[in-house]
Amino acid sequence: MGSEKNEVLELVRRLPDDVTTADIMEELYFKQQVDKGLRDAAEGRVLTSQELRERIARWRTSAGR
């Protein structure tokens, strides 16, 4: 079995017995987003705090705020 499949199975095993399908989906989505963020960081696709502040300032200005 593939590593990712094993990780997902282990994630599901750690959840309580009364977990719902929606809860499982939320956990899987959260894991997917964390994994994506870690890949982005490892590949240098990140912003400094200052770059983020500047980007937010531009968005706010363009939105009329």
Distance CA 10, CA 39 (A): 21
Tokens in use for 26? 């939320």
Q: What is the average pLDDT across 43-55? A: 97
| pLDDT value of position 25 | 98
Distance CA 34, CA 26 (A): 12
Higher per-residue pLDDT: 32 or 65: 32
| pLDDT value of position 1 | 61
Q: Which pLDDT tens digit goes with each residue over 23-39?
A: 999 999 999 999 999 99
Highest mean pLDDT pick, 2-6, 53-57, 61-65:
53-57
Structural domain count, the chain: 1
Report which DSSP code applies to 15: S
Task: Supply the range of the domain harboring residue 36.
Answer: 3-62
Distance CA 25, CA 37 (A): 18
Angle 12-15-41 (CA atoms, 0-180°, nearest 5)?
65
